[in-house]
Amino acid sequence: MAEHPPVVVHPPSPSGGRRVTIRGAIAGLAYGPADLLEFLRRAGLDPDFVALDDAELIEWRGGGPGVWPPGQ
């Protein structure tokens, strides 16, 4: 059985942002890539070495790294 990536970016919310979970814990609501990278930094990852399209690290639900609610 394959393991899921430790980071999940959930579908865009109608009220704005995308919920981010890291190892099953809610990290927060990201309104763009910079927010996501900050959550990853707080989790101990160096954002300078994170590729947002790394499928082994991040599971994108409801659209990939270029999909954010309008106005974000």
pLDDT digits (tens, 9 = 90+) for 38-69: 999 999 999 999 999 999 999 999 999 999 87
Q: What local confidence, expressed as pLDDT, does residue 14 receive?
A: 85
Greatest C-alpha distance within the chain: 39
Q: What local confidence, expressed as pLDDT, does residue 1 receive?
A: 46
- The whole-angstrom separation of Cα 18 and Cα 47 is 18
- The whole-angstrom separation of Cα 17 and Cα 50 is 20
Sorted by sequence, the CB contacts under 8 Å of residue 32 that are 6+ apart come out as: 68, 72
Q: What local confidence, expressed as pLDDT, does residue 50 receive?
A: 94
Mean pLDDT of 6-20: 93
